[in-house]
A = this chain, B = another copy of it.
């Protein structure tokens, strides 16, 4: 039931913001912390939680710690979400794919 962990971890707005920033690619802590309404140590703490939840991974690069997304950490959550759809799931998947393609095309 790792989806429970993922939900709990992503429930906090600040932590979620940090997580979302990683969509743009791997980043060091100070960059992730920039512009956020909290201190840098707070971001470090959030990153620790994200890491323990398997949502993020870390590598050292000199004095920096580069954090990046671990999408596998979202898998169970996604499957859990799927479990709420019954026969309508197929239809939804098609629709989701359609809207995804149209977004992709409009760029």
Contact = CB atoms under 8 A, between A and B. Distances in A.
Given A7-B10, A11-B8, A16-B7, A77 B81 contact: yes
Interface residues of A, number: 26
A10 B89 CA distance: 21
Nearest to A83: B23
Nearest to A13: B4
Nearest to A11: B11
Interface stretch (A34-42, A45-53, A58-66, A90-98): A90-98
B71 A85 contact: yes
A106 B78 CA distance: 21
Nearest to A22: B84
Given A4-B16, A16-B7, A85-B71, A96 B93 contact: yes
Contacts of A69: 84
Contacts of A82: 96, 100
A74 interface: yes
